[in-house]
């Protein structure tokens, strides 16, 4: 989330932060700490004594009047994920009292593990936040997998430079807020040449970065060779330096391509200002995606239009301020470079848009976002006892059965704002929604429940609004909604509340409050002792009133769950953040149950596929095998005894678990393959 500093940040009580980041050895990147001081954050910074950054050995040199609170520590190792700090000075610092520790290292790195262990040994329990730029769902081997899981599980928040990294942090265990801060740029250093004239007949294209296959330099050479109006300056080095140099000297663009080698950081502003356009042609690979694209922001800040591949984080960074082309499409890249430089008005418009876009990545904006994250991690948002003054928006995810949706909306009495997400793309559902004055959203395909809810939540100001999730086959009246809302307002740490539920015409209540699924709980169930597990871990999501501030704090629903267990996962994350849940017995809802999917076999597969995804997410592969074995043992026992319906259900469950619920769901089309996505509703780059 890119934000500007609020005036009241500096007036609030100062937060004492220990920030540890090896990359801050680069003087430019310590501007964050300068700005954080202005935002009321007192930062003591730990960085490396020296580090190889961009192919250059950078040694820590204190800046006069700026780095009094910076400590340079010796390091062992040169890989950013495989190095360690000298432990003694780090341990001494961690023994002090801090409001917050900022681990500026990837959560799977050895340095992050070292910091977490030293923090525990120091006996301090200050909350901590952690950074990540990793936007590819890699499967790390032990011990990195265990390190990542442990570090994220204990973190009070995280910050990233791309949306993909934020989703991965959440899916891999982070339960606190995540903000996309981007990477800061000094707008004074990378200032534009205001006297610059539009491009002439020879358009000067620039490339800055590593000369590696994934950076797309060969695609750029193809584009320039095919467009005789383009001239290319290449600043960088890497494994393809020889190839690039050879094509520059002897290829079709000989005489139009210059290879300058890596440029010192202080030479980059002038280099950018010599260009007509910058190309960022990065290519996606199985193990790498562009994580930010700082060169794009630097160029925009210098008044240079940008043409980038639509890959990784580049669309987020460039936005509508530059031109985007398909990765690897040399012809499209060449056309875009000509288009960006051919018309003086077009060039001027792109230049102005880039300048405006770059301002969002100023160190002031990055520090303001950091300050908000720090304060949220130290003092998580909670209800303020005035929940009744907050409006309620009802979210219904529909799939067919418009008559049930009609009954559901009619029961609400038109007293609430309603959003209907139609996973079935049905004209009849649209008609019902329009008749009741609901906002209708057609995603164009069946997203599943979690993603459907997230689509609706993105339309709501959760800072001021609470959300009633209501299945289309459920009905709850306004009086009961108000009862729920009063109960939600009464608890300063309530994430959600639910009513009692019963089937139409039934006098007995359905069970709404359940213990969280666990591997050991599965063995209790297998032994026939499930009645002993009566604790309230989570509330079923068929009718659930959720505090909007909890959604801001915890994030949205995990879209790896297609149907079932998404509310279980969300409430577990909320519990980890210190929120509670509560059943409100006086509020009553009617729930038909399973009415939008008549295929009971498919429902059963989906249910257990959700359970598998949940158990794997919270207990890992070993936990899943323990759970699965317990279910199989229990099902075998029940196939041999009990009434016929029990034996029949046991045989069905046995077949599902022997096949593997998630594998079976994907094979039969009952659920799509899981995709890691937990959106953050605190904001996005704007």
Q: Is residue 293 within 8 Å of 317, Cβ to Cβ?
A: yes
When pLDDT is cut at 50, 70 and 90, the band that residue 513 belongs to is very high
CATH, domain range 15-184+364-378: 3.40.50.2000
The pair of three-digit structure tokens given for residue 588, joined into one six-digit string: 């009553």
pLDDT, tens digit, for every residue of 8-46?
444 456 899 999 999 999 898 899 999 998 888 999 999
- d(Cα 347, Cα 82) in Å, to the nearest integer? 44
The structure tokens 């509310």 sit at 567
Lowest mean pLDDT among 94-98, 169-173, 681-685: 681-685
Tens-digit pLDDT profile for residues 262-293: 998 889 999 999 999 999 999 999 889 999 99
Q: Which residues contact 400 (CB under 8 A, 6 or more apart)?
A: 424, 426, 429, 596
Strands 15-20, 100-103: parallel, antiparallel or unpaired by DSSP? parallel
Give tens-digit pLDDT for 330-382.
999 999 999 999 999 999 999 999 999 999 999 999 999 999 899 888 887 66
Question: Is-cis flag, bond preceding 291, omega within 30?
Answer: no
Spatial contact of 94 and 102, defined as CB atoms under 8 Å apart: no
Residues carrying CATH 3.90.550.60, the chain: 387-594
Tokens of 29: 């990147």
Q: Which residues contact 145 (CB under 8 A, 6 or more apart)?
A: 108, 139
Contact of 275 with 303, CB cutoff 8 Å: no
Specify the domain boundaries for CATH 3.40.50.2000 within the chain: 15-184+364-378, 203-355
Q: Is residue 502 over pLDDT 80? A: yes
Phi, psi of 239 (to 5 degrees): -65, -20
Strands annotated E in 518-611: 538-539, 543-546, 580-591
Most trustworthy range by pLDDT among 123-127, 544-548, 576-580: 544-548
Angle between helices 144-154 and 110-121 (to 10 degrees): 50
pLDDT at 53: 75
Give 474's contacts (C-beta < 8 A, 6+ positions apart): 408, 501, 542, 543, 589, 590, 591, 592
| Whole-structure pTM value | 0.82
Q: 387-594: which CATH architecture?
A: Alpha-Beta Complex (3.90)
Nearest Cα to Cα of residue 573 among 127, 129, 174: 174
Tens of pLDDT along 171-222?
888 988 888 999 999 999 999 998 989 999 899 999 999 999 999 999 999 9
Instruction: Decide which of 3.20.20.70, 3.40.50.2000, 3.30.70.890, 3.30.70.2190 is the CATH code for 203-355.
Output: 3.40.50.2000
Largest CA distance in the chain: 88
Q: Are 339 and 323 in contact (CB under 8 A)?
A: yes
Instruction: Give the pLDDT confidence score for residue 9 in this predicted structure.
Output: 41
pLDDT at residue 595, as a whole number? 60
């Amino acid at each position: 989330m890119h934000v500007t500093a609020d005036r009241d940040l500096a007036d609030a009580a100062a937060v004492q932060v220990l920030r540890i980041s090896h990359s801050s050895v680069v003087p430019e990147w310590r501007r964050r700490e300068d700005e954080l001081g202005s935002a009321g954050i007192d930062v003591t910074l730990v960085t490396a004594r020296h580090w190889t950054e961009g192919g250059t050995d950078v040694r820590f040199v204190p800046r006069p009047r700026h780095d009094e609170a910076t400590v340079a520590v010796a390091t062992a190792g040169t890989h950013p994920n495989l190095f360690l700090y000298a432990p003694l000075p780090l341990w001494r610092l961690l023994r002090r009292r801090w409001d917050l520790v900022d681990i500026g290292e990837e959560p799977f790195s050895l340095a992050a593990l070292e910091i977490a262990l030293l923090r525990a040994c120091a006996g301090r329990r200050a909350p901590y936040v952690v950074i990540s730029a990793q936007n590819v769902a890699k499967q790390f081997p032990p011990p990195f997998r265990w390190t990542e899981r442990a570090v994220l599980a204990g973190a009070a928040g995280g910050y990233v430079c791309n949306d993909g990294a934020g989703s991965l942090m959440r899916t891999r265990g982070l339960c606190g807020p995540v903000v996309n801060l981007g990477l800061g740029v000094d707008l004074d250093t990378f200032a534009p040449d205001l006297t610059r004239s539009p491009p002439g007949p020879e358009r000067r294209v620039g490339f800055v970065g590593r000369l590696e296959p994934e950076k797309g330099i060969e695609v750029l050479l193809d584009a320039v060779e095919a467009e005789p109006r383009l001239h290319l300056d290449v600043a960088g080095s890497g494994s393809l330096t020889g190839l690039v140099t050879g094509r520059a000297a002897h290829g079709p663009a000989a005489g139009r391509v210059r290879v300058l080698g890596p440029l010192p950081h202080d030479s980059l502003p002038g280099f950018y200002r010599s260009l007509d356009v910058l190309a960022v042609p990065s290519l996606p690979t199985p193990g790498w995606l562009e994580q930010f694209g700082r060169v794009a922001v630097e160029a925009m800040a210098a008044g240079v239009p940008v043409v980038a591949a639509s890959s990784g984080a580049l669309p987020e960074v460039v936005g509508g301020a530059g031109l985007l082309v398909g990765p690897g499409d040399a012809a499209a890249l060449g056309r875009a470079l000509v288009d960006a430089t051919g018309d003086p008005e077009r060039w001027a418009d792109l230049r102005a848009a880039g300048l405006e876009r770059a301002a969002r990545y100023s160190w002031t904006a990055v520090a303001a976002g950091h300050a908000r994250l720090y304060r949220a991690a130290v003092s998580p948002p909670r209800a303020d006892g005035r929940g009744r003054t907050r409006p309620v928006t009802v979210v219904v995810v529909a799939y067919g059965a418009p008559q049930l949706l009609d009954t559901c909306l009619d029961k609400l009495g038109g007293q609430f704002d309603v959003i209907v997400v139609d996973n079935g793309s049905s004209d009849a559902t649209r008609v019902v929604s329009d008749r009741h004055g609901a906002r209708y959203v057609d995603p164009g395909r069946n997203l599943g429940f979690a993603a459907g809810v997230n689509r609706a939540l993105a339309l709501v100001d959760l800072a001021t609004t609470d959300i009633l999730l209501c299945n289309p086959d459920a009905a709850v009246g306004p009086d009961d909604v108000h009862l729920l809302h009063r109960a939600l307002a009464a608890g300063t740490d309530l994430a959600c509340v639910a009513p009692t539920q019963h089937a139409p015409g039934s006098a007995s209540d359905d069970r709404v409050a359940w213990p969280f699924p666990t591997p050991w709980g599965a063995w209790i169930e297998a032994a026939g002792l499930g009645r002993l597990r009566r604790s309230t871990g989570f509330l079923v999501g068929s009718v659930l009133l959720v505090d909007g501030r909890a959604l801001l704090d915890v994030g949205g629903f995990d879209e790896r769950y297609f149907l079932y267990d998404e509310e279980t996962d969300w409430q577990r994350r909320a519990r980890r953040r210190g929120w509670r849940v509560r059943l409100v017995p006086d509020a009553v809802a009617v729930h038909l149950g399973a009415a939008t999917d008549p295929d009971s076999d498919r429902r059963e597969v989906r249910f257990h596929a959700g359970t598998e995804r949940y158990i794997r997410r919270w207990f890992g592969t070993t936990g899943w095998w323990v759970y699965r074995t317990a279910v199989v043992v229990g099902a075998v026992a029940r196939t041999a005894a009990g009434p016929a319906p029990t034996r029949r259900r046991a045989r069905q469950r046995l077949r599902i678990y022997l096949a593997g619920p998630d594998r079976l769901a994907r094979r039969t089309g009952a659920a799509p393959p899981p995709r890691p996505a937990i959106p953050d509703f605190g904001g996005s780059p704007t």
